[in-house]
Structure 1
Amino acid sequence: MSTTNYIGKPVSRVDGPAKVTGAAKYAAEFNVPNLAYGYIVSSSVAKGKITKIHADEILTLPGVLQVFSHENVPSLAWFDRSYKDDVAPGGSPFRPLQHAEVKYSMQPVALVVAETFEVARYAAGLLRIDYDVEKHATDLETKRDDGFEPGRGKTGWMPPPKPRGNPDEELKNAAHRVEGEYIHLAQHHNPMEMFASTVEFLGDKKLNIYDKTQGAFNSQQYVTKVFGLSKDEAHVVSQYTGGGFGSGLRPQYQLFMAVLAALELKRSVRVSMTRQQMFSMGHRPHTLQYVELGTNPDGTLAAMHHHALAETSQFEDFTENVVNWSGMLYQCDNVKLTYQLAKIDVYTPQDMRAPGAASGSFALEVAMDEMAYAAGIDPLEFRLRNYAERDQNADKPFSSKKLRECYHEGAAKFGWDQRKPEPRSMRDGDLLVGWGVATGVWDASIQKCAASASLSADGHLTVLSGSNEIGTGTYTIMTQIAAQTLGLPIEAVTFKLGDTNQPEAPLQGGSWTAASVGNAVKQVCDKLGEQLLKLAQKMADSPLKGAAYEDVEFVNGQIRLNSDITQAVVLRDILPASGKDKLEAENTMMPNPLGQLTHSMHAHNAVFVEVKVDPELGTLHVTRVVNAVAAGRILNPKTARSQVLGSVVWGMSMALMEESVMDHGFGRYMNHNYGEYHIPVNADVHDIDVIFVEEEDDKVNPLGIKGLGEVGMLGVAAAVANAAYHATGKRVRNLPVSLDKLL
């Protein structure tokens, strides 16, 4: 073991210099020889059939190389219908350029390839396409009676648990009861980096593929299955990703188009999406929710019913865990949770930060606020009164749960005890002041992951695992873990990721990367450490002879005895003495399923929000946020805080701004750009405090990591809405909380 203390320290990003100097290359930035450019043509109708693509009219333009469409794309391996990517839901995945049918507005229907990007874009703008238009249906509101319970959902989806107790009867007899419908429209990820793939053609069918993705191995699997290539022929690289938030979990259609064009034209090709096309490849689904709560006379929850109806496409059944969280977050013996889908003419929704939970927690936490007012109890006290000591959904104890401490530490930092309970009772000059609170819970999970490590004779350690870096700090925390495990200075460690020639790692999503890759890195470094100890014990007059691995520690570039730290061997002396140039190790970390069987494993948070509202204009500003998070071991408080800050800003965005507005006449999202799809800017963001509540968990995984990507966002949107009610007395159940709803 090591006492060199890097884990838990606020180490600055090791990839920071590469990012700020431009040395970090993203998918559309790789300059390869003989590069052609593809421009995607999107359908102008929401439903119908293509009758003619007038490609001949633009193929005569100088510089245009080809127009790919369903009229000339060859038969591909995926016609066996068996291929699904790692996170595909039930149904049949969308296959671009394979048929004349148009299934949704802005569906990719052609790819124009030219010698330059400008020529490709110009020619794509001239391409005429004839359609037979059919009547489309894009309004979830009209499908309220068409909901169905999904069968096989996507990986990670859990059907709601069966009802417990007698919720219908208990709701009727409750001392206090509230019910309401909670709605949000579709929301789109909108990362700064748009989706792009640069495919370098190396001859025959051999390709280097630089792809924007959250999983290089998933993109490789997709390409090999669709095009019948070997893994050696489809080498995928994705070392930096400019934001993903779930949009990069599934391979997007520009990857297919770039590989197709490269193989057919036998030259390198780059295909990039436009910002508008980023609204054509997945989103957080439009969701309608109904919540009914009832309490006993003492303010404890008597019964609960939470129902959700979410949209999906006509060709896949996209599922989310929307209502399940309500059955575990609070103590309640009578619970009914139901979830349905309805098919409309849109592209399949997709995981978006805290998928399902962001929707479900908003509805539950606003309903809890309403219930607290109905019962005449402070909203924080109401949550504490209904605190769940056990996961009633699974009937298991929590592996650890410090949510109570989140409430107490967050409330103390925020000053919650100064809150006046009545709406419109607090002011700052002419502005109404509101304080709101809400809670979040997210799975703490871990996936199978491999890693390799190599120590050179000069004492430099290189660790590889084919994970991804989407801005979360993966490079940095893995470097910290490796450095601490082998007692090396952080400058003597290089961690590499994002390449399918490296050991296989899971997709970066689900808040499992730190736990999965981190434990894999720890294990492979320990494996290397065991080899080093054996070699050190063979050295002349070694003070470590007979010592077990548990009897030594790696610190300050040495292996030394725990019992006598003066008895040590310098790491850099070991390989020269053994006659080796380097030492290598490989390892695959397998999750321990026993813990999942016996315990419920989750991260929790409590969010406190202050808003100020102009009573005449209805304008609302979030002026203060305190987010107290219990997420196991925090590997790096600097990168972790950055994660939670981003989560809070996104929660504010969900509460106040984000909605993809569908014009049902056209069946198209109308605000498909940064100008009209509103997200916060610097002036919208004020004081945000992040508290990490100490939480040790020896059951969740060896390093005790729970992950932060999702949980930090949860509760924020509801806390903003609850604060808006406290300020104005107007209850908003339909996001976003826009000024017209407060006037």
Structure 2
Amino acid sequence: MSDMIELSQHLRMNGKDEENLLDRTVQGVITRPLDRPEGPLKVSGTATYADEDHPPGTVHGWFVRAPIAKGWVTGLNTAELRAMPGVLAVMRDDRLIHHPAQGQQGSAPPQGPSEVTYAGQPVALVIAETFEQARNAALAARLQLIDQSDRAVLAADPSDYETPKGKQAATGDLDKAMAEAAFTLDEQYSTPSMSHSAMEPHAAVAWWEDGKLTLRGSYQMLKTNVAELADAVGVSPKKVRILSPYVGGGFGGKLGIGHEGVGAAIAAQRLGRPVAIALHRRNVHEATHRRSESRQRVRLAADAEGRLTGLGHEAWVSSMFGDDFSEPVTQATPFTYAGENRVIGHHVARLNLTAPGSMRAPGEAIGVPVIEMAMDELAERSGLDPVAFRIRNIPDKDPTSGKPFSSNRLEDCLRRGAERFGWADRPQPGTRREGEWLIGMGMASAVRVNMLQNSKAAVILLADGTARVETDMTDIGTGSYAILTQIAAEALGLPMERVTTVLGDSDLPPSSGSGGSFGAASSGSSVLLAAQALRRELARRMDCAPEDLTLKDGHAIAANRARPLSDVLAGDSLRAEGEIDRGLNETTTRQASWGAQFAEVAVSTVTGEIRLRRLSAVFAAGRILNEKTARSQCIGGMIFGIGSALTEEVAHDPRDGHFVNRDLAEYHIPVNLDVPHIDIEFLDDRDPYANPMQAKGIGELACCGTAGAIANAVANATGKRFRDLPMTLDKVLAALD
């Protein structure tokens, strides 16, 4: 019987990565556009998602939701519902309403009325033998209510907003810069509330055994989800296990434990049976968090040569009462462009709407397009080409903090993108026409902050020379299974098929989870560190220094000797745990991923329809770990941007905030015919301050500039500026009349 030898490696990112291991390995699987190992399971329908794997005896839950936005639930026809076919329980419990994902602590069941803070809020839970019976009973619920519904729109009165001190910044004198500038812009823009609309609705299945809770759910960050769920049900985190092997999209909407997870756990504990709760699409829109709407004011001042002397970006957003989160609209503005006089402002209104939360590229997704629309307009006013104007205003260091950039490839992206797209052929505004169609080109910079999170992973090198990666990291469609397999295979010199990756189990080493475009870099770095620890042990057994060891095709090579790994291991198995720590680099350097995006549109003068003809982008995001999954992420991100520009908008009734368009029939996401050919190029890039793989986030970067590029293309086509997104037919027709 073989021994299991334990190893470890821990790294804090305090300074440059000097080793750059992945540029010296020779297996040749890193970066390559390789298929997802779990792909066949997904396309054959055998990959089991949250609501597809029920333990024997599972019963089903359906939420009763509040029809008002503010007030109290004082009663429910519980006895009538309890008598309906198949109904096992009707639960009113404030833990169904307030839970850690919304910044609230778990509480005991209510002794009196339950407070309502937004329309669609779960206020009770019906459990029945079948899904249909639970739904039927919940829809028959009659609530007794005290209705205090109030406004649900951003107010114009500044006194209605909170202005958090930590989210304001000012340097120099922007008013003076505006007064003295050769060219200025002072405009207001708006973006709507948006819904995540992931393919897989939120779902959870919970069961208890010997005092321990197991929950199978659709979640992104298991380490924090365990803590949230444990707090909500009142047990130690050691008694909670979450399984999320496959997640059908998240986009930030599944970062925290949702009502369905808390409800399933509480109901399973009370009934002593497994409970499944799967949300209907309308439940997803109404009872999970959204992206906040925004109103933004941009002020730009430039001298006669087109150099920025002033920059102001202020945002007004909404949040729920008592919630710390608000959309960080201005996150990238302080460091993207120069200008010594600046004002950054952030203002928050408290509304009785579903809580806002992180949605793909929170902040930049709606802040960067607005800045890019403003930059484009000022370039036009100053008589400069939009690409040249941006290049002229790229700073040498972070203008606000003075931090050096860890890497800034924006100019390279802009120049290469313009060349690749054929930017030199861009027409003058409103001059190119094909029948009823006005044709235009537009562009925008793309920028997204880069982050690293603490993360752990184990890599086990078995006695037969195969390897297994273990971490609680999730795959939300981003390619985690493929990327982590490639990293381990490359570092250990193994073919991909000899590495197995196990994810989505909170009993495994805790990772960063999926979010903020830090998932691949953080969890991947922990895998690489574990593999480095294994390499050191293999080098010791080969009697050579680690830097003199070559691993390829399952062999260890040193001093002109090649031995199969199984021989080197001599019956032992090695388990190494790697841990990456974010360290100080993010505080000493300004880190970001960069890109440039270009669009060509046709605008109908008859219907107001905007048709995208081409989208093109060039990105610099450090080392690309898998060209296929990276390209897929960029295509998805750019489609997200199409939605922001042209179709997506949550419509809230201004009287009480209820969703008007609460399903995919009325909440319009881009579909196949809305999406043109998308051309993508990755620059060869490394960022030694980011992490030991020198890779950076890319999944959110791709959606940051797209809406701006499209809006600027529409302006070029029509000669009209659109400052309120999305650019729907009615807005276009009104502008063209």
Cα shift readout 1:598-635 (whole Å, capped 9, x = no counterpart): 32111011111100011121111111011111111101
Alignment partners' CA distance in 2, 1:122 and 1:406: 55
Aligned to 2:695: 705
Alignment partners' CA distance in 2, 1:656 and 1:177: 28
Contact 2:471–2:508 (CA under 8 A) maintained in structure 1 = yes
TM-score w.r.t. structure 2 length? 0.93
Aligned to 1:540: none
Alignment partners' CA distance in 2, 1:462 and 1:519: 16
Alignment partners' CA distance in 1, 2:281 and 2:164: 32
Match status 1:601 vs 2:601: no
Change (3 A) 1:627 1:529: same
Aligned to 2:628: 638
Aligned to 1:474: 480
Partner-residue secondary structure (3-state), 1:341? strand
Match status 1:62 vs 2:80: no
Match status 1:333 vs 2:340: yes
2:136 maps to a residue whose letter is: Y
Contact 2:366–2:704 (CA under 8 A) maintained in structure 1 = no
Aligned to 2:564: 570
1:388 maps to a residue whose letter is: P
Q: CA deviation at 1:318?
A: 2.0
Match status 1:590 vs 2:581: yes
Counterparts of 1:112-191 in structure 2, within 5 Å, are: 112-142=126-156, 144-150=158-164, 159-160=167-168, 162-191=169-198
Contact 1:292–1:304 (CA under 8 A) maintained in structure 2 = yes
Partner-residue secondary structure (3-state), 2:144? strand
Match status 1:549 vs 2:516: no
Cα shift readout 1:19-42 (whole Å, capped 9, x = no counterpart): 111221111111211111001111
Aligned to 1:192: 199
Match status 1:717 vs 2:704: no
Aligned to 1:48: 71
- Of the candidates 344, 359, 366, which is equivalent to residue 359 of structure 1? 366
Cα shift readout 1:499-543 (whole Å, capped 9, x = no counterpart): 011001123101111111111001111112222333xx3xxxxxx
2:604 maps to a residue whose letter is: D
Alignment partners' CA distance in 2, 1:516 and 1:273: 31
Partner-residue secondary structure (3-state), 2:29? coil
Alignment partners' CA distance in 1, 2:686 and 2:118: 48
Alignment partners' CA distance in 2, 1:328 and 1:589: 26
Change (3 A) 1:269 1:143: farther
Q: CA deviation at 1:587?
A: 2.7
Match status 1:436 vs 2:437: no
Match status 1:532 vs 2:523: no
Aligned to 2:379: 372
Aligned to 1:616: 606
Aligned to 1:541: none
Partner-residue secondary structure (3-state), 1:390? coil
TM-score w.r.t. structure 1 length? 0.92
- Of the candidates 500, 507, 519, which is equivalent to residue 501 of structure 1? 507
Q: CA deviation at 1:233?
A: 2.7
Change (3 A) 1:406 1:651: same
Match status 1:629 vs 2:619: yes
Alignment partners' CA distance in 2, 1:637 and 1:164: 41
Contact 1:183–1:734 (CA under 8 A) maintained in structure 2 = yes
Contact 2:452–2:521 (CA under 8 A) maintained in structure 1 = yes
- Of the candidates 36, 39, 43, which is equivalent to residue 13 of structure 1? 36
Alignment partners' CA distance in 2, 1:174 and 1:650: 36
Counterparts of 1:203-222 in structure 2, within 5 Å, are: 204-222=210-228
Change (3 A) 1:723 1:49: same
Alignment partners' CA distance in 2, 1:146 and 1:232: 43
Aligned to 1:311: 318
Alignment partners' CA distance in 2, 1:94 and 1:247: 21
Unaligned runs of 5+ in 2: 1-20
Alignment partners' CA distance in 2, 1:217 and 1:245: 18
Alignment partners' CA distance in 2, 1:242 and 1:132: 38
Contact 2:320–2:355 (CA under 8 A) maintained in structure 1 = yes
Aligned to 1:26: 49
1:112 maps to a residue whose letter is: V
Alignment partners' CA distance in 2, 1:430 and 1:68: 59
Alignment partners' CA distance in 2, 1:625 and 1:259: 45
Q: CA deviation at 1:404?
A: 0.9
Contact 1:289–1:307 (CA under 8 A) maintained in structure 2 = yes
Alignment partners' CA distance in 1, 2:460 and 2:337: 48
Match status 1:667 vs 2:657: yes
Alignment partners' CA distance in 2, 1:136 and 1:525: 57
Alignment partners' CA distance in 2, 1:230 and 1:532: 40
Q: CA deviation at 1:678?
A: 0.2
Partner-residue secondary structure (3-state), 2:649? coil
Match status 1:511 vs 2:508: no
1:59 maps to a residue whose letter is: R
Q: CA deviation at 1:293?
A: 1.1
Moved more, 221-230 or 121-130: 221-230
Alignment partners' CA distance in 1, 2:535 and 2:711: 52
Partner-residue secondary structure (3-state), 2:400? coil
Alignment partners' CA distance in 2, 1:172 and 1:94: 54
Contact 1:97–1:109 (CA under 8 A) maintained in structure 2 = no
Fraction of identical pairs, as percent: 36
Cα shift readout 1:339-366 (whole Å, capped 9, x = no counterpart): 1101111122010001011111122111
2:579 maps to a residue whose letter is: T
Q: CA deviation at 1:247?
A: 0.3
Partner-residue secondary structure (3-state), 1:349? coil
Counterparts of 1:399-478 in structure 2, within 5 Å, are: 399-420=406-427, 422-478=428-484
Cα shift readout 1:221-261 (whole Å, capped 9, x = no counterpart): 11212222234432110011101000011111111100000
Counterparts of 1:291-302 in structure 2, within 5 Å, are: 291-302=298-309
Alignment partners' CA distance in 1, 2:358 and 2:79: 39
Alignment partners' CA distance in 2, 1:435 and 1:709: 24
Contact 1:164–1:333 (CA under 8 A) maintained in structure 2 = yes
Q: CA deviation at 1:95?
A: 7.2
Match status 1:321 vs 2:328: yes
Root-mean-square deviation (CA, aligned residues, Å) is 1.9
Aligned to 2:120: 106
Aligned to 2:556: 559
Contact 1:400–1:695 (CA under 8 A) maintained in structure 2 = no
Moved more, 609-618 or 133-142: 133-142
Contact 1:725–1:732 (CA under 8 A) maintained in structure 2 = yes
Q: CA deviation at 1:6?
A: 1.0
Q: CA deviation at 1:145?
A: 3.4
Partner-residue secondary structure (3-state), 1:724? helix
Contact 1:104–1:347 (CA under 8 A) maintained in structure 2 = yes
Partner-residue secondary structure (3-state), 1:141? coil
Alignment partners' CA distance in 2, 1:414 and 1:15: 35
Partner-residue secondary structure (3-state), 1:663? coil
Alignment partners' CA distance in 2, 1:276 and 1:598: 45
Match status 1:651 vs 2:641: yes
Alignment partners' CA distance in 1, 2:578 and 2:670: 43
Unaligned runs of 5+ in 1: 152-157, 538-543
Aligned to 2:10: none
Contact 2:71–2:117 (CA under 8 A) maintained in structure 1 = yes
1:598 maps to a residue whose letter is: T
2:537 maps to a residue whose letter is: Q
